[in-house]
Amino acid sequence: MNGLGGLNKSPEGVVIGLVQLQLPNTVTRADLAAQTDKVVGMVAKARRNIAGMDLVVFPEYALHGLSMDTNPEIMCRMDGPEVAAFREACRDNRIWGCFSIMEYNPGGNPWNTGLVIDDQGEIKLYYRKLHPWVPVEPWEPGDLGIPVIEGPKGCKLSLIICHDGMFPEMAREAAYRGAEIMLRTAGYTAPMREAWRFTNQSNSFCNLMVTANVCMCGSDGTFDSMGEGMIVNFDGSIIAHGTSGRPDEIITAEVRPDLVREARRVWGVENNIYQLGHRGFSAVAGGAGDCPYTFMQDLVAGEYKLPWEDEVQMTDGTSCGFPKPVRRYGETNKEAAE
Phi and psi torsions of 279, nearest 5°: -65, 130
> Which stretch of DSSP H or E encloses residue 186?
strand 181-186
Give the pairing of strands 96-103 and 55-57: parallel
Residues 6+ apart with CB under 8 A from 225: 23, 59, 66, 187, 188, 189, 215, 216, 217, 218, 219
Give the separation between CA 255 and CA 152, rounded to whole angstroms: 12
Give the separation between CA 176 and CA 178, rounded to whole angstroms: 5
Which position among 98, 103, 129, 254 bears the catalytic label? 129
Phi and psi torsions of 112, nearest 5°: -95, 105
CB-based burial of residue 132 (10 Å sphere; 0-12 exposed, 13-18 middle, 19+ buried)?
Answer: buried
- Of 153, 248, 163, the closest CA to residue 210 belongs to 153
Which position among 162, 180, 217, 228 bears the catalytic label? 162
**Contact between 107 and 65 (Cβ < 8 Å):** no
Helix (H, G, I), strand (E, B) or coil at 50: coil
CA angle 290-292-295, nearest 5°?
125
Mark whether 162 is an active-site residue: yes
Mark whether 262 is an active-site residue: no
CB-based burial of residue 44 (10 Å sphere; 0-12 exposed, 13-18 middle, 19+ buried)?
Answer: middle
**Contact between 272 and 280 (Cβ < 8 Å):** no
**Contact between 96 and 111 (Cβ < 8 Å):** no
The alpha helices in the chain, defined as continuous H runs, are 3-6, 29-49, 81-93, 168-176, 193-205, 257-266, 272-275, 294-300, 333-337
Residue numbers annotated as active site: 60, 129, 162
